[in-house]
Amino acid sequence: MKPDIHPEYRKVLFHDTSSDTFFLVGSTAQTTQTKEYEGQTYPYMTIDVSSASHPFYTGKQKSAQSDGRVARFNKRYNRGTSS
């Protein structure tokens, strides 16, 4: 490994602002802000989406259900299925 070309790997405090959740993760992210967390001072970075707020991970994902052409036609003209 060449000396002085690799970024510093350190613990960084990430803050998911949409769910107000904090994550302490090893990262090479460059930031100028610091914040105290659990008695220690860490580099601090805000993020918009994480596993704590993304619909896929929280289970609040909406599934798109599209009707077929026949079902839309029947729905439009109030035709139920004949029994």
In a domain, 72, yes or no: no
On the question of pLDDT at 49 being above 80, the answer is yes
CB 10 within 8 A of CB 25: no
**77 is a domain residue:** no
Give me the domain span that covers residue 43. 1-55
Q: What is the mean pLDDT of residues 49-75?
A: 72
pLDDT tens for residues 8-48? 899 999 999 888 899 999 999 999 999 999 999 999 999 88
Query: Is 68 inside any structural domain?
Result: no
pLDDT, mean over the chain:
83
Domain count, the chain: 1
The amino acid sitting at 12 is V
The yes-or-no verdict on residue 79 having pLDDT over 80 is no
Question: Is 33 a member of any domain?
Answer: yes
pTM above 0.75, yes or no: no
Determine, yes or no, domain membership for 3: yes
* Nearest CA-CA partner of 21 in 44, 52, 65: 52
